[in-house]
Structure 1
Amino acid sequence: MHAAPGALAMLVVPNHWGAHPLLPGSPFATRLRGWAEAGVSMFAHGWFHRDMATHDNALDRFKARRMTAGEGEFLGLDGATAARRMTDGRDLIEQVTGLPVAGFVAPAWLYGSPARAALGRCGFALAEDHMKVWHPPSGRILARGPVITWASRSRARIASSLLAARLLPPVLRHAPVARVAVHPGDAHVPALLDSIDRVVRRLGRTHRPARYGDLLAG
Structure 2
Amino acid sequence: MVVHDVTPVLARDVDAILDCCLPEVGEFLAGAAVPCWHGQTPGATDRQRFRRWLDQFGETLLHGWTHWREHRPGLISLLTNRADELAGLSTPDVAERIGRGLSLLQDITGAAVTGFVPPAWQLPSGLEALRQAGLEYSVGFTRLSSIHSADIPLATWSWDWGRIAFVSRLGASLGSAARLCNHRAVPVIVLHPADVGRGLLPAAVGVIRRLKSAGWQPTRIEHLLSNAGRKPTA
Short-chain TM bin: 0.7 to 0.9
Q: Does 1:161 align with 2:172?
A: no
Aligned counterparts of 1:96 and 1:108: Cα–Cα separation in 2: 23
Matches within 5 A, 1:124-203: 124-135=135-146, 137-138=147-148, 140-141=150-151, 143-151=152-160, 154=163, 157-166=164-173, 168-169=175-176, 171-172=178-179, 174-175=183-184, 177-190=186-199, 192-203=200-211
Does the 8 Å CA contact 2:76/2:82 hold for their aligned counterparts? no
Q: Which residue of the partner structure matches residue 21 of structure 1?
A: 41
Does the 8 Å CA contact 1:152/1:189 hold for their aligned counterparts? no
Matches within 5 A, 1:71-86: 71-86=83-98
Letter in 2 for 1:34: R
Report the CA distance shift for 1:166/1:140 in structure 2 as closer, same or farther (over 3 A). closer
Aligned counterparts of 1:52 and 1:21: Cα–Cα separation in 2: 16
2:47 alignment partner, SS class: helix
Matches within 5 A, 1:95-114: 95-113=107-125
Report the CA distance shift for 1:171/1:77 in structure 2 as closer, same or farther (over 3 A). closer
Query: In the TM superposition, what is the alpha-carbon distance from 1:102 to its structure 2 partner?
Result: 3.5
Aligned counterparts of 1:216 and 1:53: Cα–Cα separation in 2: 34
Give the total of aligned pairs: 202
Query: In the TM superposition, what is the alpha-carbon distance from 1:202 to its structure 2 partner?
Result: 1.3
TM-score of the two chains, using structure 1 as the length reference: 0.80
Aligned counterparts of 1:139 and 1:77: Cα–Cα separation in 2: 26
Does the 8 Å CA contact 1:120/1:138 hold for their aligned counterparts? no
Query: In the TM superposition, what is the alpha-carbon distance from 1:38 to its structure 2 partner?
Result: 4.3
C-alpha deviations, 1:123-176, integer Å up to 9, x for none? 3122022111111x34631x213321112755xx33322123346337537445
Report the CA distance shift for 1:13/1:75 in structure 2 as closer, same or farther (over 3 A). same
Query: In the TM superposition, what is the alpha-carbon distance from 1:111 to its structure 2 partner?
Result: 1.5
Aligned counterparts of 1:132 and 1:153: Cα–Cα separation in 2: 21
Q: Which residue of the partner structure matches residue 32 of structure 2?
A: 11
Does the 8 Å CA contact 1:144/1:177 hold for their aligned counterparts? yes
Aligned counterparts of 1:123 and 1:211: Cα–Cα separation in 2: 20
1:147 alignment partner, SS class: strand
Query: In the TM superposition, what is the alpha-carbon distance from 1:208 to its structure 2 partner?
Result: 0.8
User: Gaps spanning 5+ residues in structure 1: where?
Assistant: 56-60
User: Gaps spanning 5+ residues in structure 2: where?
Assistant: 1-22, 228-234
Aligned counterparts of 1:120 and 1:46: Cα–Cα separation in 2: 15
Q: Which residue of the partner structure matches residue 81 of structure 2?
A: 69
2:187 alignment partner, SS class: coil
Query: In the TM superposition, what is the alpha-carbon distance from 1:39 to its structure 2 partner?
Result: 4.9
Query: In the TM superposition, what is the alpha-carbon distance from 1:214 to its structure 2 partner?
Result: 0.9
1:29 alignment partner, SS class: helix
Q: Does 1:117 align with 2:117?
A: no
Letter in 1 for 2:209: R
Letter in 2 for 1:159: F
TM-score of the two chains, using structure 2 as the length reference: 0.75
Q: Report runs of 4+ in structure 1 exceeding 6 Å deviation.
A: none
2:24 alignment partner, SS class: coil
